[in-house]
Amino acid sequence: MSGYIIKRVISAIVTLFLVATLTFFLMYLVPGGPFLSEKAPSQQTLKALEEKYGLDQPIGVQYLNYMKRLIRGDLGTSLKMRGQEVNDIIKTRFPVSAKIGLMAVILAICVGIPLGSVAALNRGNWFDRLIMFLSTLGIAIPGFVVATVLMFFFGVRLRILPTFGLTSPLHYILPVAALALYPTAYISRLMRSSMLDVLGQDYMRTARAKGLSQFKALFKHALRNAVLPVVTYLGPMLAGILTGSFVVEKIFTIPGLGSQFVGSITDRDYPLIMGTTIFLAFLLITMNVIVDIAYKIIDPRIKLK
Amino acid sequence: MDNKKKPLSFHLDVSDFLPADEREKQSMVVMRESVSFWKDGFRRLRKNKLAMASLVVIIIIMISAFIVPSFYPYSYEQQIRGSENLGIMEYSDAEIERIKSGEEVFPHILGTDSLGRDLMIRIMVGSKISLLVGIVASAIILVIGSAYGSIAGYFGGKVDMIMMRAVDIIYTVPDILIIILLSVTLKFPLKELADNVKAFAWINTVGIGLISIFVVFSLLYWVGMARIVRGQVLMLKEQEYVVAAKALGASDSRIIKKHLLTNSIGTLIVTTTLQIPSSIFTESFLSFLGLGVSAPMPSLGSLASQAIGGISSYPHRLMAPAIVISLIILSFNLLGDGLRDAFDPRLKN
């Protein structure tokens, strides 16, 4: 077990290192370096800035300095918001996104798992078909479409839900629903197929044959086994919700990290783009490692390599 | 001779060994000609109504995306003065005058945008871009992924280990972040390449945004294809016909091309078909964030993104591209599922 964990952590560090290196060199492809902006700074200011940030040194030295700063957790300074550290921006913005993202994760799990299980138990009848139809639709519709359509109907047409900012609990409903739709649809499909698989297993027949009630057999045997594939989906789901948050936060003008990231892309604020990318990559890679290890612990049938 | 069988005896029943009569012989003759892989697959696909309906939808969208714009009376960048912000099937004052004087004016089926551009043609051209991205990117991914995966799987051992370790690392990289990062930065070197090197001048005609999307997708998405192809090749290379081909002196590249990849064609088709909607999905996401193809070229994602500002007065401007893109992704997903059931039943989960 510990061998597996060590291996997994090392590979995560390698991946993160690669992402950071790639980020650094991509920064070099941008003409004018990190100080490019609409108001071109004078030759002198540029030189002073370059000296201040060590950009006049050879690329190898710069790379080493950059890596040293990264290891200390310093992501640099924003270009457009003068004097603001990328770290501080992330610190104020990220909790907002994390809150919405977490709500969406919980919603997707709490709705997706029951829907998928009930669909599997009613295989072939109208309920199953309805769930499968809706989830097929939910997977095919891009997040920005879901978010804007929700905003249009509930915010603009019916005027029952607010569509701007995050000041009351009511404000959370639309963004969380928009974020959760795709993972909910995915989980219910995943859950249905794995539940069907489990229901056909010998141990389910044994459980019923030895006199266990339908209820007990379902909750003690079927659900526990069928839920395993959903655990493997947790990693990709986090990535999906993160991607979704870029769009959803932009549409609902939520002051989170997602809308900040999109804004920094529009502003071409390269240090902020790079810093946020590295932070989010770190987050996702760490989560993936945790999910992988958790999966091995939950399912003892999987051999640890 | 007494043919009667004693009830409890173990003697053989002589009647089982009588010569077969004509009727019995007839039943053994193979009446139907043998069905080829393709025929068998298409027969199953035709029975799948959902997949066939999706195929029809895809063909209709393709016709309106690739053929209709060439004879459509408006063009996607043409700004018609005085026809700004028209609603569905509305005419501007100038156009009404022209109709009154007996001229024929082609209606703005979905109205026009704030610059007076016909929305219908913009959506058609936008779906052309989306479809192009989906199909071309998937084709590139197919080529890279199947070459890489089959080489790793066929040679096995250390080669496989090193090649797949690289795949594992790319697989754990958060793709969407890197895609955004590459789309932000890649445009500059591509522009430089197109402007300064003559051999790459074609990049400008295709459009830098489009090329950078192709490059970005093919850099990251081939790993999934490589894994699937490797799995197929690992299974197929143990088959007798591969041993036979080797014994006859076939070269490695011939075995990979003629035997291994040909025999995994079902998987390749299915995976590529399912790759198309996911590429379109990502492209629309990037365009929505403003990273896709550059203006005035429309894309379904950027059309939707531009429509958000005026959502309360012109909701159809958002709904039309949103419906088209959902329809494209849904149809390709359903067709891919149908193809999988028809050509590669083992993949079904």
CB-nearest partner of A288 from B172, B178, B281:
B172
The residue behind tokens 């290379």 is: B237
pLDDT at B349: 46
* Residue B169 neighbours by CB under 8 Å, 6+ apart: A11, A14, A15, A18
Instruction: Please tell me the distance in Å from A51's CA to the nearest CA on chain B.
Output: 24
Q: Residue B111 in contact with residue B317, Cβ under 8 Å? A: yes
* Residue B274 neighbours by CB under 8 Å, 6+ apart: B332, B333, B336, B340
pLDDT at A305: 43
Q: Residue B326 in contact with residue A145, Cβ under 8 Å? A: yes
Q: How does pLDDT run along chain A (305 residues), one tens digit per residue?
A: 788 889 888 888 888 888 888 888 887 777 655 555 555 667 777 777 777 666 677 778 888 888 888 888 888 777 777 778 888 888 988 999 999 999 999 999 999 999 999 999 888 889 999 998 899 888 888 888 888 888 888 888 888 888 777 778 888 889 999 999 999 999 999 999 999 988 888 888 888 888 888 888 888 888 888 888 888 888 888 888 888 888 898 888 888 888 888 888 877 777 888 888 888 888 888 888 888 888 888 777 765 44
CB-nearest partner of A148 from B281, B304, B349:
B304
Q: Report in angstroms the alpha-carbon separations of A150 from A112, A159, B306.
A: 19, 11, 17
pLDDT in tens, B8-17: 666 677 777 7
* Subunit contact A29:B188, Cβ cutoff 8 A: yes
pLDDT at A41: 64
Q: CA A278 to CA A15: how far, in whole Å? A: 11
pLDDT at A37: 54
* Subunit contact B174:A284, Cβ cutoff 8 A: yes
Q: Supply the DSSP symbol for A37.
A: -
B291–A contact, CB cutoff 8 A: yes
SS3 B257: helix
DSSP B62-89: HHHHHTGGGT-SS-TT---TT-TT--TT
Question: A48-78 as b/e, with b when 16 or more CB fall inside 10 Å?
Answer: eeeeebebeeeeeebbeebeeebeeeebbbb
pLDDT in tens, A189-225: 999 999 998 888 888 888 888 888 888 888 888 888 8
* Two tokens, residue B255: 């075995």
Q: Residue A272 in contact with residue B180, Cβ under 8 Å? A: no
pLDDT in tens, B222-277: 998 999 999 989 988 888 888 899 899 889 889 988 888 888 888 898 889 889 99
The pTM for the full model equals 0.82
Q: CA A280 to CA B142: how far, in whole Å? A: 29
Could you report the predicted ipTM of this complex, rounded to two decimals?
A: 0.80
C-alpha torsion A184→A186→A187→A192, nearest 10: 120
Burial of residue B29, with CB atoms counted within 10 A of its CB: 0-12 exposed, 13-18 middle, 19 or more buried: exposed
